[in-house]
Every structure is written in structure tokens, then in C-alpha cells.
Amino acid sequence: MSLRGVSDTVFVGLQNAARDWAASSAPLDTHGAHSLPPLLLRGFDDIKSVVKDDSAFSISDLPAYLDAAANIGGTIDDRKLLLEKLITLMARLGTESEFGSRLQQSVIGILYKDLPHPPSGYLALPSPSHPPAGAKQTGDADTSDYTADKNREKSVNYAYRPADGSNYNPLMPSLGKAGSPYARSVPSQRCLSPAALPPADLVFDTLLKRDGFVEHPGGISSLFFAFADLVIHDAFNTDLTVKGWTKNKTSSYLDLSPLYGNSQEEVNKVRRNDGSGKLWDDVFADPRLIYMPPATCALLVLLSRNHNYVAEKILTINERGNFKNPPPSDLAACADQDEEIFQRARLVNTGYFIQIILRDYVGAILGLVRDGSSWRLDPLMNTRDIDHEVSPRGEGNVVSIEFNLLYRWHATASQPDTEWTEKLFANSMPGLDPKKMSIKDFVANARRTMNPGPDIQKWTFGGLKRDGSDGRGRFSDAELAHILQDATAASASAFKARGTPEILRVVELLSIEQGRAWGVCTLNEFRKFIGLKPYNSFREWNENENHEDAAEALYHDIDNLELYVGLQAEETKKPVSGAGLCPGYTISRAILADAVSLTRGDRFLTVDYTPFNLTTWGYDDCQANTSDGSYGGMLTKLLFRHLPDYYPTGSAYAHFPFLIPNKMRDFTKEHSGDIERKYNWHRPHLPVGPTAVAKTYSEVQRLFKEPWVYASNVAQRLDVLTGGVRLNFTPVEEIFARDEQLKKAAQAFSSITEGLIKQKTLKGVGTHVMYVDIVRDVINLVPVHWLSNYIIGLSLKVVENPRGVYREHELYSWFANIANYVYHNTDPSNDWFLREQSKAAADKILHDLKSHLARLTRGSANLESISDSMFRWVSGKGNHSESFLKVLVEATGSQSGPSALDGLGGSLFASVVPTAALFSQIIAQVVDFYLDEDKAVQREKIVQLAEEHSNAQVMPFIFEALRLDPPLSSILLTALSPTSVDGNPVARGQHVLASIIDANTDSAVFDNPYEPSYTRPPARVEDVLGLDRRGLLSDRLFEQVVPGILAQIFKLKHLRRQSTQSGRLTRLEEKTQDVPGRFYCDLNGRVTPFPVSLVVQVCRVFPPHLVAECSLTTKPHD
């Protein structure tokens, strides 16, 4: 093993020991506070970071900091890379650093104040504040926007984005709305006669025209610039019909206007208006994007689909209970429902869009994704200045002409995009030579030929065709994925002078002439305005002798250099820490200031970006998961969600879509933790075929009985968690099936359940009614206590053992993650997180388990056994697991070698831990099923039979509840050989989705399938539950322990649901591939396969005069 490997192993061992002792010493009751890493652990983390070769500060950084200190209040030499060094410093300090947080606040404040808020100058007179924003003014289409918004304001209590971008600033309601003039950030003081400026075509030929394709030095893919097109077209849409090109037809906010439109009329065209809040299939509002390379529209289609996904979720979850599904038949009520769902879904979708910008897009610009950092600059954060004044947010924004010119990144066009553009010009403007085309000819021909028609449901792009006989359906998933993956695989061009493809000559000429028509400032004036040192010579601007000489010949004096030309032909950055985009130095600095202004100035991304407005689920869905394998990438989630068959789990094309896979692979080899091997770096294979679906009882039963033909991922995932050891479940299952073990288990489960009910019950004030969260605080914790204290030997921190290590709910969350990963996991966007979380939990559990086994097999004459004995003595009160582990060790021959212990520990873990949360889920759903008042008789019968030890007679009640409410709604299988499902051929490798819900309600097998009947043969139901019959779900153990648990719950006097929503499981039902699925929502709006909470009430004291109180305190939930 290398020295680095030895040091890592030592650190891991020390960290584990520190973790356990710190957890053992922690107080039993946290009083609801968030747990923080103990000081000792943080110390080890700090030491480890020092040992690494990427310290946050080095001696080579000093010149940049000294230059900044010497020029406080003046201009900074950006060639010393101060901003990049600050970004690197903040990223390496991380989100938990107080100094890093303060530094980030200062950086964001500086960037935000780079531009005036509100702008101090405009190209033309801005619209007056009165009449109100959205009312008809010169150049506006009509007054419908204002009327619709004003009427809505009277009846809603949630914030929403007005269609035209008005009312973002309540004090200046027209600020930044669509149809307003551009702002002028920098008034030019340089006297330049238009006649003295060099001809635009000469400028293009000498400074801008591509002299050869150069791959992007930072590994940026073409897809990055396809997304940049979305951002740019969201913020800029110059009205070429207005004299002087002064008006911006879109709003000055990143409100996804390319998808939704810039007026109520445009918004109405994309909406269904049917009560669902959805858009028409795969539509968008901005026709300009059809004439961009097709990856731009493909991304926009995914965001269109995401709106519908969000709207459906909001309707299904129905957080406030005010929606109806299907929508109400009353037209007014239907319209109100559609409006609210649409507006909330738009807030979520635009929030999602912004997170892609901040995490994927800006993350690539700053080189953070390339460097493997999940830290991101957060311009939305709420802060206070040093004088305690609240830092401004949500003030509004107006985009300026300077930034309109800055974002024209034609030089970065990839080779495939250049070829596509050449074909577009040839097809849409035949007979015109792009090398000689005038601006006038280009504009006239573009207006005539680049018009997709009024029916947006029929718009198409990139040669794609829509489904449906009327040509208004969805685009093919396969074709969208092909476009997007081509763009990820293609390298963008490097920013550089002489980098723009010749086919875009006329577009560059238009850019130069627009800058001149606007009287825009020079490059040096712009640099001084944003606090950068102006250039003293053309050599400073670009050290390439050819570029320097050409610019000097054209402009003579560096102070004459035009902004647009100076930005595009400036010397570019090299890829270093904090710099990934590698444009010219001025662009690199300015885009961060603009990004902060665009986002921080938007009230719907700041002060109104709340769970109340977006819904709890919607707000959570917009949050990044920094442990998702893409360092918190949100585009990753979008690709997995909407093209799951074409972006398999672990694909680098999904995790790093803005970086070329082979380049990113080289970058990850430099990251710690051997992470490169966890990704699939090859282009995803096409799926073998569409997912086949089995719904009938007979077909689903057949699939489960032929595991050699239809395989699940369970074995593969268990292999990941246990480290690839050989698993042997037979000894474990044989021990569980022994009579003495079954008797012990039944007693233990019943006792644990009774004890948890007593401990977790809360007494109401001034009443004999008592409350307990029977799912969260009892059912979910029962297997946690049994496995910890009777089987594995995990040190629980409870009242009886205050020096324990693991808290009850902490362990349950581990068990739930493991069960989710092994059995439920069908969402590719969550696979990485579940795998890594489950693997980390498994490693900790197996570490403790194997320490116990080592002590039992090797005796106490070794360091590991002594350590285990000491820790057990300190923190093992109430732990009875040694009895079971001794039996297990004896049954397997008491082998003490490392491989034997790995195999024994892995087999026990794989048998019991993944089934623990499923076990709780089953009991919770059975309890929920029988809590309804019309099933009181069945509850009493279950208690009676359980107390008579007639467990076999209880099973029909349990299995009938599970038939109607199975723990697994469906199971995804893979065909291992050619076969058929329901008579349809299935190829090897094709997925098959077995619907357990449909099979369990097959009328060919079950009479009155949706009505409970307690005389059905249990075996018939067991055959289609899809569960592994091992561990806590093994037949004999399950039958022995579950009736006793149910009896302890159902015998509680006057048991009933708490009358509010807390007395119901928070569930949602949705279909995938026309297969029904059932899920739950936790308190934070996250969707989970497991029940989270169900509060019941009981009475413990029953004098005659209190019976009525216990019965009538609450009424059953209707």
C-alpha cells in the first residue's frame, strides 16, 4: 500500500474512533437542535485538509492580494487573477466556514454594486410608472396583461410572475418589464467620429473571422453554449422594428420567457387551460430558438416537460387540499384551479432553471465542476452589511446594451454547430452568399423565411417530427437524447480573436453596427466602470503580435478600441482554479456581475422564493443535492427525470453534460477517492426496447417465479453494500427459524412495541386523551431496537443507555436509505445519492458487527477485541445481541479469518438490514388500513387471535391489507434471455415492469377485488408481493412477530386517528408507464416510499364520566 493509502487508512480509523466516542459523550436529548460535527471530528477533517495538496491559500496568491490592497477604491489588475483566487479560497473553505461565508457576502456585495440599481441611464425614455405596468402604451399589444393581473391580485394570496415582467419592484412596477428600453450602464466620454471608425467588414476580416478551429481548453462542451443560448435569449430580444434598436422585447429577468412568452397572449398559447395547470406537449413560446443549433430547443423541451411534471405533482400532492382531480366542471372554478397550479408550477420551473444556471452553468464558468467542488457562489443569499443594514435583494433589474454585446459568443461554435448553421443559411436564404450578404438583406430574408407559423403546437426543430396524427404530439425521447448527447460529446471552440465562423459574418457585422448605433462606450471605459485597470496598450490587451498589430492599425489608440470588438478579440484566460470558461479577461469579470444582478434583483428568486409560494414539495425539488455524483448539478436531475431510458445511472453524459466526457474523465483522475471508476464514461447505449408491462396476476406471479429469466437489481446492490463478499443466507435463515429464536423474537418485538408506546405517548393538557405518532415513534423504531439490541449489537443512545452511539431516528434513516436503494430505487436521479449514503451506513454497521464477531471468534487477546469489549462496557447497556451472535458463530464453525468474518457479517447484514424499513412499512400500512372506524371489529379480532397465539389465523387479515395496499407498488426487472410478457416478445436486456397493485386487483383471480375479504388464501397474495422472504420478512419470523406488534397497537383503548391531516398518512398516487405507484411525503415535502408519520389518540383512564370525553374529543376524519 502507498504512503498516501496508509495515511488515509489511519485517518479513517482515527475518525471512526473519534466519531464513536463523540457520539457516546453527546447529550441524550438534543431538544430539537440540529446536530453538528463534534469538535474532535472537525479537528481531524482540518488536519486531513492540510495534508492534502490543495490548500486554500499559497504564496503564489500574494501578488493578487497585494494589488487589491494597493488599489482599494481604484481599479484592479485582473491579470493577477484576484477573483479566481478568491473563488478558489471560498470553494476550499467550504460552506461551513464562517470566514468563507463572510468573504462570499463581501464578494457578492461587490459584484452586485458593479451595476447601478436602478439604472441611471437608458437608450430611450422608459415607460412611466402610470398607467400601471402592463396597461396599454405605445408599442404594446393590448391591455389584457394588466387587466388579467389586476383581477387576479384581488383573489389570490400567493406570489406569481406577471406575464410581461412587470411589478417585480412594487415601487417601480415598470422596471425591467418586456417592451422597455435597454439601460445604458456606462455613458461614453470618448469622442469618436462614426466616420473615423474602421469598416465593420474590415474589422471582421482582420480580427474576428475564424482562422482555424481550436478545442476549448477547459473541456467545455457544445451543450454548455446551447444552454447559454437559452439564458441569453431569456434576457435579450432586441426589437429590430424600432428605430435605433432601443427596445428589449423580453423582460430583464430570467423568467424562462423563451418557454412561457412575454405577454399574456403568448402565455395563453402555450397553456392547456384545462384545470391541470399544464402546457401543451413539448411547446415553447420563442420562435428565435428554432433557428439556433437544435440542442438549445432540446433543452427547452425538457424544461417544458418539467413544467408539466411539476404541475402534475402539485395537483397530486394537493398540499392545501384546495384542488380537485379531475378538475371541477364549473368553468370559473376550473379556471381558478388551472391558474394557481400553472403559476406555482412556473415558479418552481423557473427556480429550477435558475438552479441550473447557478450550479451547472456558473459552476462550469468558474471551473468548480471540473475541479470536483460542490461549493457554489450564492448570489441569492440573505445578508446584512457591516452596519447591520439588510443587503438589497429583489429590487428589480434592467439589462443594458453593454451586456447585450458582451454575451454574443459566436466564436465558441463547435464544428457540428458551424456545419448546421451553414446548412440553415443555405436552405433559408438560397441565392445569397454569406460572405457578401449585407445586414439589410439578412434582416429582410430572416423576416420572410424564418417564420415557423402561428400554431406553436406544430413547431419543430432540427428535422424532428412530432407524434400524433395532427402533428401536435411529443417529440421522440430517442431523438432528443441523440441531439443532447451529440452536443455533450462535441467540444466547443475556444474563445479567441479570429475565432468566429465565417458563416456568421453578417451576424458579427450587425453586432458591430448595433454597438455604434447605440453609442456604446469603449472597452477601456467599460473596464474602468467595473473596477478593472484600463489597458495602456494593445500589447496589454492581446499579446499575440498579429492580433495586436491588426487592432492598432484599425484603431490607432487603445482608448479607441470599441467595446464589442475589444471583448471578442481580447486575450483569453488559461484554465486555472476558479476559471473554467476561459473567455477574455473583461468578459470573465463582467459576467459574474451580471449574473448576480439578474438573480439577486429578481424578487421571485429571493424574497418571494418560499415554500408557501412554490409549495413545500416544489421548493424542495428546486434544491440541489451536493452528494448526487455531479457536485449538485441540476441539469443532471432534468436529464434523468425526462429521458431515463437514454441516460442510465452513473453516466458521465448525465452527470457532467457541460463538459466533454473524455476531458472530464482526465480531470476526475486528479480528484481524491478514486471517483473516476464510479462513472460510465462511454456514450449511453440505446435501450433494447421499450419497457414491457405485466399487470395480470398470473403473469406477475410467473415473473417472480422465474428469477433465472427475470432478474431484479437486488443482488447487485447488496453486493455493492457488502463489498462484494460471498453471501450465504442459509445459516442466518435457519437460526431465525428455530423455535427458541422465534419465541425470543416474538417476546422482544412485543415488549419493544409496548415500551415505545409508553415512552413516546404525549398527554393532552387538561384531558385524559393521549397522542402518539404510531408510525414515526413506534413502528419505524421497532426493528431499529430489535436489530440493535438483539441481533447486530449497535449501541443505541436511549434513556436506558445514555452513553450509546446511535440515535433511534438516525439508525432508522440509515435503514430506510438502504431499503430504498436495494428494493425501491427506480429514480436514476436519486441512485447515486442512495448508493453512497447506503454504502456509508453499511460500512459503519458492518464495522461494528465485525468487531463483535472478531471478539467472539478470536477471544480477547487482541487489540480489536479489547477495544470492542471496552466500548461495549461503556455504551452497551441493554444490549443482548451477544446471545444471537454466539449462536450464529457456532452454527458457522467459529471461523475467525478476515474473509470468513467478512462473509458472515455481510450475510447477516444483507439478510436483516435491507428488510428492516420494509418491515416497518408493512406494519404501518396494515395499521393504517385497520384504523378506519368501519374496521373496529377486525382490529378486535386481530387482538383476540394474537393473544390466543393463533398467529396463522391473523395472517389473512395482514395479507388482505397488503393485497390492497402492497409495500412495493411495482418491481422493475430485466430479461436475461429472449422471452415474452403477456404474449409480446421481450428481448434480452429489455426491462419489464411488474405491477403488483394491478396484479393484486385482478378480477380474474379475486372476487370483488377492491373490497377486503378475510377468507382469501394468504398464499395467493404472498405470491405477488414481490418481497424477498428473508430477514425480517422470512415466513416463520414474520408470522411469529407481526401479530404481537399489531396486538400491542390495536388493544389501546379508544384508539382512533387524530382528527387533522396528521391522523392520515400523507400519500400521493401517480402512474409510470401506466402502472400505478403509491408514495409518501415527509414534513419537508420530499417524496419517499416509506410512511413517515401517523398520529393516533388513545385514552388510558376510564372513569364512567370520562368515556364520553375519550370518544368525542375528536371526530373521525372524513
User: Which residues participate in the annotated binding site?
Assistant: 410
CA-CA distance, 809 to 787, in Å (whole number)? 14
DSSP 8-state class, residue 196: G
Count CB atoms within 10 A of the CB of residue 682: 11
Count CB atoms within 10 A of the CB of residue 158: 14
- Angstrom distances, CA of residue 459 to CA of 259, 444, 1088: 13, 22, 38
Q: Which of 391, 1048, 1041 is nearest to 742 (CA)?
A: 1041
Longest dimension (CA), the chain: 105
For 947, the grid coordinates are: 393473544
CA-CA distance, 714 to 824, in Å (whole number)? 10
Kindly provide the b/e burial profile for residues 208-226, where b requires at least 16 CB atoms within 10 angstroms of the residue's own CB: bbbeeeebbbbbbbbbbbb
CA-CA distance, 654 to 669, in Å (whole number)? 18
Identify any residues that bridge with 1079 across adjacent strands, giving them in sequence order.
Answer: 1068
Identify any residues that bridge with 1067 across adjacent strands, giving them in sequence order.
Answer: 1080
CA-CA distance, 1047 to 1076, in Å (whole number)? 31
Helix (H, G, I), strand (E, B) or coil at 877: coil
- The C-alpha cell 491579470 sits at 79
> What length is written for the chain?
1118
**What stretches of 1033-1112 show up as alpha helix (H) in DSSP?**
1035-1050, 1104-1112
Identify any residues that bridge with 991 across adjacent strands, giving them in sequence order.
Answer: 974
Q: Which H or E run includes 747?
A: helix 739-760
For 544, the grid coordinates are: 499575440
CA-CA distance, 358 to 377, in Å (whole number)? 8
Q: Which of 828, 1114, 873, 778 is nearest to 991 (CA)?
A: 828
Amino acid making up residue 1076? P
DSSP β-ladder status, 984-986 and 1075-1081: unpaired
DSSP β-ladder status, 692-694 and 991-995: parallel
Q: Which of 915, 974, 921 is nearest to 729 (CA)?
A: 915
**What stretches of 778-824 show up as alpha helix (H) in DSSP?**
782-786, 808-819
CB 464 within 8 A of CB 633: no
Query: Could you tell me how far CA 1093 lies from the centroid of its own chain?
Result: 24
Count CB atoms within 10 A of the CB of residue 520: 23
Q: Which residues contact 936 (CB under 8 A, 6 or more apart)?
A: none
For 737, the grid coordinates are: 427459524
CA-CA distance, 936 to 754, in Å (whole number)? 20
CA-CA distance, 563 to 570, in Å (whole number)? 10
CA-CA distance, 253 to 399, in Å (whole number)? 8
Q: Give the CA angle between residues 1094, 1097, 1102 to the nearest 5°.
A: 160
Amino acid making up residue 840? A
Give the annotated binding-site residues for heme b. Answer: 410
CA-CA distance, 78 to 428, in Å (whole number)? 43
- The C-alpha cell 436602478 sits at 118
- Angstrom distances, CA of residue 624 to CA of 346, 656, 844, 1041: 18, 15, 26, 41
Count CB atoms within 10 A of the CB of residue 320: 10
